[in-house]
Amino acid sequence: MEGKSKRLAVLVGCNYYNTPNELHGCINDVLAMRDTLVKRFEFEAANIEVLTDAPGSSSPLPTGANIKLALARMVDAAKAGDVLYFHYSGHGTRIPSKKRGHPFRQEEAIVPCDFNLITDLDFRQLVNRLPSGASLTILSDSCHSGGLIDKEKEQIGPSSVISKSEAPKNYTYTPKTIPFESILQHLSSLTKINTTDIGTHLLESFGEEASLRFRLPLPDPELSTPLRADNGVLLSGCQPDETSADMRPNEVSAKAYGAFSNAVQMVLTENPGTISNREVVILARKLLQSQGFQQHPCLYCSDENANATFLWQS
């Protein structure tokens, strides 16, 4: 990853305004990260695409199709040595696996504003499409985000540690998750189809824009196979079976934020020099535990990239 490289980013914040699933800090999270990318990590503002559902925003809505289109453009524009970054702050969910022999297994997904789920298999496809020598770092501040790149190697994983301290006062906590049953109910109300197979509803509603996870057989089976020592890096806000926190201040003057996004910002501020992916996650874990949060960030990547500097800062 040495030498001059292009730095590209897609930042997505979903607050789901005026819905039963409303969050409050997700757009703040990605706007703060945009500033950090420019000021610290030498990203050019023109190379950062921001998608939010803020009322009156001129940016494209963070629908499933728009998010995947933005990510595809970024990957297609990449060349060897380029540094790509995707930051997502919003709801996550888990869906029943369709794999034979795994009746109780669940797969991870993020929930765009139109409920067109983007799954771990979609992120695996993106990583597999990277040009040799390019990297894609994903930071997902969402529930059940551990394992969001399918089959990526776990470096820092599930923890049995339970914090006994209290969560921050003067804030209202909202878990960044929409249960599978709620998503199924919403999609069923749109399709009017009587089935519990969520793939049927997604394909009926979104057609070819639906996740690869629900298309069988896959368009290209190789897209779901991890490449040896790939350059995909996932920093997840929590373990696959945990929720991530959205914090809404009770005071008007304070800003809402995602607990993991905020922890990463604090870690970067407290460590102005180079810092590895492993160190970012470990320090964010410790910080969240000290603040009383019940979520444990995880790291998924190759052995080499675990100790590489975050966003290959020189």
Can you spell out the DSSP letters for 48-95?
Answer: EEEEE--TT-SSPP--HHHHHHHHHHHHHH--TT-EEEEEEES-EEEE
C-alpha 13/C-alpha 187 separation (Å) is: 22
Which of 220, 239, 197, 211 minimizes the C-alpha distance to 120?
A: 211
SS3 295: coil
pLDDT of residue 4: 73
How high is the pLDDT of residue 204?
A: 97
Whole-number Å distance between alpha carbons of 292 and 239: 16
User: What is the predicted pLDDT for the residue at 5?
Assistant: 84
The domain 7-312 is placed in CATH, from the list 3.40.190.10, 3.40.50.150, 3.40.1390.20, 3.40.50.12660, at 3.40.50.12660
CB atoms within 10 A of CB 267: 20
Q: What pLDDT sits at residue 57? A: 87
Q: Give the pLDDT score at 100.
A: 56
- The residues near 14 (Cβ < 8 Å, ≥ 6 apart) are 23, 26, 52, 53, 62, 89, 90, 91, 111, 112, 113
Within 10 angstroms of residue 129's Cβ, the number of other Cβ atoms is 16
Cross-strand bridge partners of residue 13: 52, 89
* Entry pTM: 0.93
120-172 tens-digit pLDDT:
999 999 999 999 999 999 999 999 999 999 989 999 987 645 444 456 677 88
Active site residues: 91, 143
Q: What is the model's pLDDT at position 224?
A: 60
DSSP-derived 3-state class of residue 268: helix
- Give the per-residue pLDDT at 166: 57
Q: Which residues of the chain are under the pLDDT cut of 50? A: 1-2, 160, 162-165
Quickly count: other Cβ atoms within 10 Å of residue 11's Cβ.
26
pLDDT at 267: 98
CA 136 vs. chain centroid, Å, equals 12
- On the question of a cis peptide bond just before residue 20, with omega within 30 degrees of 0, the verdict is no
